[in-house]
Amino acid sequence: MAKLDFKPGNMLFPLPAVLVSVRDRQGNDNLITIAWTGTVCTNPPMLYISVRPERHSYQALVDTGEFVVNLTTRELAKATDYCGVRSGRDHDKWAEMGLTKAEAVKVNAASIAESPVNIECRVREELPLGSHHMFIADVVHVTVDEDYMDEKGSFHLEKAGPIAYSHGTYFELGKAIGTFGYSVRKKKKRTKKAGKARNHS
């Protein structure tokens, strides 16, 4: 397989496309679409979002140090795109996208009721990196939609139709092809059925 040299750039795709909700000091709520986001640490639970300083939500993040990451689905795809191309300076994105505000439990912000997972965060550190500033945050609370819980207490995000972002395009995630550790998991031995084996000779 031939390889071509490519200029250095952001080629780490696909990425989650999340809706981040913030509230400024005056109590105004806004939404911003973020794809530059990910896990930082398991224990303590931490994640990051990277935001351009010129974005309207940036100052609220700096002033309050709190936000909610709302995971997105195929039903939220239009809102996800809209909140990334329209500014909260000129638009009430909540109203225009028909999204329902649910007060967060541990941070001063609203979460999106239609989102299957709401991750409440408190900024630990801001790192100016260039075009973007990275906000490293502690996860202080999580709420999940009970519709995706099974009788054993396991959460099934795949049933909500989660979406991802890759090179300017949103994709709904497809079928599962394996589970964690499947490559080394021992196969279960098949038990012989009771009775005499049939002669296939």
In this structure, is residue 61 part of a structural domain?
Answer: yes
Give yes or no for a contact between 70 and 18, defined as CB atoms under 8 angstroms apart.
yes
Q: Is residue 3 part of a domain?
A: no
The arithmetic mean of pLDDT across residues 43-64, rounded, is 98
pLDDT band at 187 (very low <50, low <70, confident <90, very high): confident
pLDDT tens profile 2-42? 999 999 988 999 999 999 999 999 999 999 999 999 999 99
β partners of residue 123? 137
Q: Which of 70, 85, 80, 78 is nearest to 117 (CA)?
A: 70
The pLDDT value given to residue 188: 74
3-state secondary structure of 179: coil
Whether residue 195 is contained in a domain is answered as no
Domain annotation covers residue 197: no
Asked if residue 200 has pLDDT above 80, the reply is no
CATH of the domain at 79: 2.30.110.10
pLDDT of residue 198: 53
Residue whose structure tokens are 């999940």: 144
pLDDT on residue 201? 45
Q: Which domain holds residue 162?
A: 15-172
Domain membership of residue 82 (yes or no) is yes
pLDDT computed for residue 192 by the predictor: 59
Over range 76-80, report the average pLDDT: 98
Q: What is the pLDDT of residue 197?
A: 52
Compute how many other C-beta atoms are within 10 angstroms of the C-beta atom of residue 29. Answer: 16
Averaged pLDDT, 50-60: 97
Q: Is residue 193 part of a domain?
A: no
For residue 159, is it within any domain?
yes
CA distance 166 to 170: 6
Summarised one tens digit per residue, pLDDT across range 149-185 is: 999 999 999 999 999 999 999 999 999 999 999 999 9
The verdict on residue 6 lying in a domain is no
pLDDT digits (tens, 9 = 90+) for 94-141: 999 999 999 999 999 999 999 999 999 999 999 999 999 999 999 999
Task: Give residues with Cβ within 8 angstroms of 93, minimum separation 6.
Answer: 30, 31, 79, 82, 83, 86, 99
Domain total for the chain? 1
